[in-house]
Structure 1
Amino acid sequence: MNLSSHLKNTAKVNADKTAYYFMDQKVSYAEFDGAVTRFASGLKQLGVKKGDHIALLLGNSPHFVISLYGAMRLGATVIPINPIYTPDEIGYILNNGDVKVIIALDLLLPLAEKMEALLPKVESYIICESNPLNKVDVSTNEKMKSFSDVIASGNLAFDEPELFEDDVAVILYTSGTTGRPKGAMLTHKNLYSNAKDIGEYLKMNHLDKVMTVLPMFHVFSLTVVVNAPLISGSTIIIVPKFSPKEIFRLAKKYEVTVFAGVPTMYNFLYQYPDGDPNDFSTFRLCISGGSSLPVALLKNFEKKFNVLISEGYGLSEASPVTCFNPLDRPRKPGSIGTSILNVENKIVNELGEELPEGQVGELVVRGPNVMKGYYKMPEETAAALRDGWLYTGDLARVDGEGYFYIVDRKKDMVIVGGFNVYPREVEEVLYEHPEVVEAAVIGAPDPEQGEVVKCFVVPKNESLTEAELMEYCREHLAKYKLPKTIEFLEELPKNTTGKILRKALKEQVLQKQN
């Protein structure tokens, strides 16, 4: 079984059930599945074959899910790309990923035309209409087709190729925090097993209405609020971009039951002055991932909106989910929960030996969700996959009941005079202060101690001073963990999923020092 064949089965059993809403229009499972088949057939007529690589430069839209499932039905490999990456970033992934077809929004048409000469491997461009009323004119370039024409050229009598569970379905390029991005190869088995297991773990069913506002090109969204709900027969509400006002409106209109977001989204929703708790009254579950959710924010949000936030953990190389706070046992604030179905997590030392409960080490993962490897990177693959385990690069600990706690990224740990300081524990203290909206902590070079703790804070108002915050930290932190400096900013740098970019803050500090 794979995602494409499962969709076909759902469409047969629940043909009239709504698969998704987009811009207040609904589409049934039968209509969705038909569009997927026609698109796969249309791709085949363009010369796309099983194993060819197709890039998606799309935001949250029906174009994305139809392209994703259509390409998988044909046996092609999908490479989702953040459409707001720079031309250099996009160009690297397209060339490194040996992309044959690009599917992009019409707003990117000028960029596609400029890059065409630099992409000799690309044979076709499929342009999606941002406005259904405005048909795209691609008649001047034989390589370019409109999305609607590709679907129209396909037919439902499409002869599908045989798919194997070890075939690569998606290549997800990591954010490239160290060097160039790496393409994690995820097989049909990886994606299907993780969507199925997390769907069952979170008890998703045909009655659920799931808010899909996380960017679909990101693996958190792809599995948790796209594939898992569709496997479960749920309805997804596709939201093009995050807006607190729109989230409250849609939650109330569609009586949403499941919401997933990153910590920054929860912070914006919590701070939104017109947010009505009654709009979230149908939520049975809120999901947080992408980065650690500050405990203070979790408690404040839950109290204000009377909902439960369940925090989990994942990474692209694991399709992505490995842990989640269980729904049938007490949730532990600050924890990423326990191992999900069919997945093992453990904490190891530098030699790969398992550590006892409470000790901090590297989190490693094993299961059917773990990637096949990095595309065209055998050395990096060998470093990440050892003896059947995926080494995540995250420092964590586990308690006696099997609940895991992320301490920090291995590379983000700050060493002050020989003592280990984990940025997250300092950030947790800062978030407890009533006048702090957001906070990020990094290690800054220091000639005497090697590194010192530097904090960046977004205050609620300008009256908050560095001295006041320093005094607060002295009351809650050991001396070696105290910030050397605290810098106030209007906002923190974030990526498109809302994750705070410590790397950008570190670069800013280094530039000032040089």
Structure 2
Amino acid sequence: MNLSSQLHETAKTSANKPAYYFLDKATTYAELDGAITKFASGLEKLGIKKGDHIALLLGNSPHFVISLYGALRLGATVIPINPIYTADEIGYILTNGDIKTVVALDLAIPLAEKMHTQLPKVEHYVFCETSQSDLVQANVEELSIHPKMKSFTNVVASGDLHYQGPELEDDEVGLILYTSGTTGKPKGAMLTHKNLYSNAKDVGDYLKMSHDDRVITALPMFHVFCLTVALNAPLLSGATMLIVPKFSPKEIFRLTKEYKATVFAGVPTMYNFLFQYPEGKPEDLQTFRLCISGGASMPVALLKNFEKKFNVMVSEGYGLSEASPVTCFNPLDRPRKPGSIGTSILNVINTVVNELGEEIPANEVGELIVQGPNVMKGYYQMPEETQAAIRDGWLYTGDLARKDAEGYFYIVDRKKDLILVGGYNVYPREVEEVLYNHPDVVEVAVLGVPDPNLGEAVKSYVVSKNPNLTENQLLKYCQEHLAKYKIPSSVEFLDELPKTTTGKILRRALKSQIKQKAGK
């Protein structure tokens, strides 16, 4: 069984059940399944075949759901990309991921026209129509003059409702998720159909999702947290999604009250905004049976305050792209421990080991490693990185953790220098590489600093050869090359950076300076 075939079966048994609401319009499972089938068939008529790579540059919308499941039904490999990435970041993934087809909002047409000559392997650009711009609509009408550009509506219309896709093997790759690496370049985690299906089913079972649930899908669909917890798991369970194009506390309260939502999944930043929203009333969220938090550690004070105000339980969990992503959740049938990521979910084993890979006693700190049907096949075209990450059947997460005597896990720190900005991963090296390309920058070090709204913010320490170089100039430079959440919140100029005797920059010395300043 796989995600697409299971949805097809659900459409037979629950044809008239709403699969989702979007902009207050309901779409049934039968309607969704029909659109998926026709999109898959339409792609095949374009020459797309099993194993081809398809990139999705889409926000939260029916287009994303139909494109994802349609491509999977065809047997293609889907690569979701954050649509707010810069042209440089998108171009890297499209090239490294050997993309043959791009599905994007029509707002990206100018970008495609600018980049398509640099991407000769991309054979088709399928644009999803919006009504946000007369200029965009004009572009859509003129798509026929560009042989590579197609209309999403036309692709679906050309499809056969009776199309049956190829047989899909469990170990075939269904999704590649690009995650930042310590080298500064993203790595593509290959997730098989078994990885995706097993994690969605196990998460759904663990959280007791059912046909009666109405799940708010406000997390970004291109992010693995949303993909599994707020999209795949609900659809596997026959639940109804309430798709939110863009997170806003006002909209969450409205949807919950109007549609009697039962499950909400978000990062701690979202919970903070909901808690602080002045018009948010406890009775507006009274239909919630469960709130799920992930992407970053939730401050215990926020968790307790949110639960007390709204009288709802928040279950924290843990995951990473390489594990599809969920490995732990706080249990629903046993005591929840604030500050813990919970216990291993069904069919997944978590443990903590020392540097030799040996399991260590309870409450000792070591590296968290994971084993289960959710663990990735490997990194795309990166055999050495794959061997380093997966050893003897265990995925080494790179996170430092401890396990208590009752089997609850706690993340202690990041083994790497990962910065979590509102639940998004930012690796310092990636930002440093951009700053090093500036002609006036001699040395740079990037660190995460506390931020009251986002959890952490990016800060850069720079040594410049130009005494007239300003913070604003560097920030503007970063805006041209980095996604918004990766851009430093501030730049501090130094005469030199602390280093070891071998010349390696000492980040921990800079972190110590930050702590000393915070303590004053």
Which bin holds the TM-score, normalised by the shorter protein? 0.7 to 0.9
Counterpart selection for 2:412 from 387, 396, 407: 407
Counterpart selection for 1:301 from 280, 298, 306: 306
Q: SS in structure 2 opposite 1:125?
A: strand
* 1:44-79 residue CA offsets vs partner (Å, 9 max, x unmatched): 000000000000000000000000000000000000
The answer to whether residue 324 in structure 2 is matched with residue 316 in structure 1 is no
Distance apart, 1:101 and its partner CA: 0.2
1:387 matched residue in structure 2: 392
1:46 matched residue in structure 2: 46
Tell me if the contact between 2:84 and 2:484 (Cα under 8 Å) persists in the aligned partners: no
Counterpart selection for 2:254 from 234, 249, 254: 249
Counterpart selection for 2:220 from 215, 230, 233: 215
Counterpart selection for 2:188 from 180, 183, 191: 183
CA distance in 2, matches of 1:509, 1:317: 34
CA distance in 2, matches of 1:105, 1:380: 33
1:366 matched residue in structure 2: 371
Counterpart selection for 1:345 from 341, 350, 354: 350
User: Cα RMSD between the aligned structures?
Assistant: 2.4
CA distance in 1, matches of 2:347, 2:493: 43
1:117 matched residue in structure 2: 117
Distance apart, 1:500 and its partner CA: 8.1
Distance apart, 1:89 and its partner CA: 0.3
2:288 matched residue in structure 1: 283
Tell me if the contact between 1:262 and 1:499 (Cα under 8 Å) persists in the aligned partners: no
1:155 matched residue in structure 2: 160
> Structure 1 residues 212, 510: CA separation in 2 closer, same or farther (over 3 Å shift)?
farther
Q: SS in structure 1 opposite 2:317?
A: strand
Q: SS in structure 2 opposite 1:104?
A: strand
2:473 matched residue in structure 1: none
Tell me if the contact between 1:290 and 1:499 (Cα under 8 Å) persists in the aligned partners: no
Identity of aligned residues (%): 71
Distance apart, 1:395 and its partner CA: 0.4
CA distance in 1, matches of 2:335, 2:209: 19
CA distance in 2, matches of 1:365, 1:76: 27
CA distance in 2, matches of 1:510, 1:405: 36
Counterpart selection for 2:272 from 258, 267, 276: 267
Distance apart, 1:176 and its partner CA: 3.9
1:86 matched residue in structure 2: 86
1:479 matched residue in structure 2: none
Gaps of 5+ in 2: 421-425, 429-444, 454-477, 498-520
CA distance in 1, matches of 2:220, 2:448: 30
CA distance in 2, matches of 1:284, 1:151: 37
Tell me if the contact between 1:101 and 1:123 (Cα under 8 Å) persists in the aligned partners: yes
Q: Which stretches of structure 1, 4 residues or more, deviate above 4 A after TM superposition?
A: 132-135, 498-501, 509-514
The TM-score with structure 1 as length reference comes to 0.82
CA distance in 1, matches of 2:495, 2:199: 44
Q: How many residues align?
A: 441
* 1:73-123 residue CA offsets vs partner (Å, 9 max, x unmatched): 000000000000010000000000000000000111100110000000000
Distance apart, 1:177 and its partner CA: 5.3
Q: SS in structure 2 opposite 1:139?
A: helix
Q: SS in structure 1 opposite 2:180?
A: coil
Distance apart, 1:456 and its partner CA: 3.7
Query: Which amino acid is 1:30 matched to?
Result: A
Greater Cα offset, 185-194 or 158-167: 158-167
> Structure 1 residues 276, 178: CA separation in 2 closer, same or farther (over 3 Å shift)?
farther
CA distance in 2, matches of 1:178, 1:237: 38
> Structure 1 residues 338, 512: CA separation in 2 closer, same or farther (over 3 Å shift)?
farther
Query: Which amino acid is 1:120 matched to?
Result: P
CA distance in 2, matches of 1:512, 1:3: 55
Distance apart, 1:412 and its partner CA: 3.6
* 1:369-407 residue CA offsets vs partner (Å, 9 max, x unmatched): 000000000000000000000000000000011000001
CA distance in 1, matches of 2:450, 2:328: 29
Query: Which amino acid is 1:301 matched to?
Result: F
Gaps of 5+ in 1: 414-422, 425-439, 443-450, 460-492
Q: SS in structure 1 opposite 2:413?
A: strand
2:470 matched residue in structure 1: none
2:20 matched residue in structure 1: 20
Query: Which amino acid is 2:203 matched to?
Result: I
> Structure 1 residues 510, 102: CA separation in 2 closer, same or farther (over 3 Å shift)?
farther
Tell me if the contact between 1:347 and 1:397 (Cα under 8 Å) persists in the aligned partners: yes
Q: SS in structure 2 opposite 1:411?
A: coil
> Structure 1 residues 31, 513: CA separation in 2 closer, same or farther (over 3 Å shift)?
farther
CA distance in 2, matches of 1:221, 1:66: 15
> Structure 1 residues 458, 157: CA separation in 2 closer, same or farther (over 3 Å shift)?
closer
2:36 matched residue in structure 1: 36
Q: SS in structure 1 opposite 2:116?
A: helix
CA distance in 2, matches of 1:406, 1:331: 15
The answer to whether residue 11 in structure 2 is matched with residue 11 in structure 1 is yes
Distance apart, 1:508 and its partner CA: 3.7
The answer to whether residue 82 in structure 2 is matched with residue 77 in structure 1 is no
Q: SS in structure 1 opposite 2:373?
A: coil
Tell me if the contact between 1:326 and 1:337 (Cα under 8 Å) persists in the aligned partners: yes
CA distance in 1, matches of 2:74, 2:234: 22
2:66 matched residue in structure 1: 66
Q: Map of 1:88-237 to 2, 5 A cutoff?
A: 88-131=88-131, 136-137=140-141, 138-176=143-181, 178-237=183-242
> Structure 1 residues 512, 121: CA separation in 2 closer, same or farther (over 3 Å shift)?
farther
Q: SS in structure 2 opposite 1:126?
A: strand
> Structure 1 residues 88, 159: CA separation in 2 closer, same or farther (over 3 Å shift)?
same
Query: Which amino acid is 1:330 matched to?
Result: P
CA distance in 1, matches of 2:151, 2:302: 45
* 1:254-283 residue CA offsets vs partner (Å, 9 max, x unmatched): 110000000111111111111111110100
The TM-score with structure 2 as length reference comes to 0.81
Distance apart, 1:131 and its partner CA: 2.8
CA distance in 2, matches of 1:159, 1:409: 45
Query: Which amino acid is 2:5 matched to?
Result: S
Q: SS in structure 2 opposite 1:406?
A: strand
Query: Which amino acid is 2:42 matched to?
Result: G
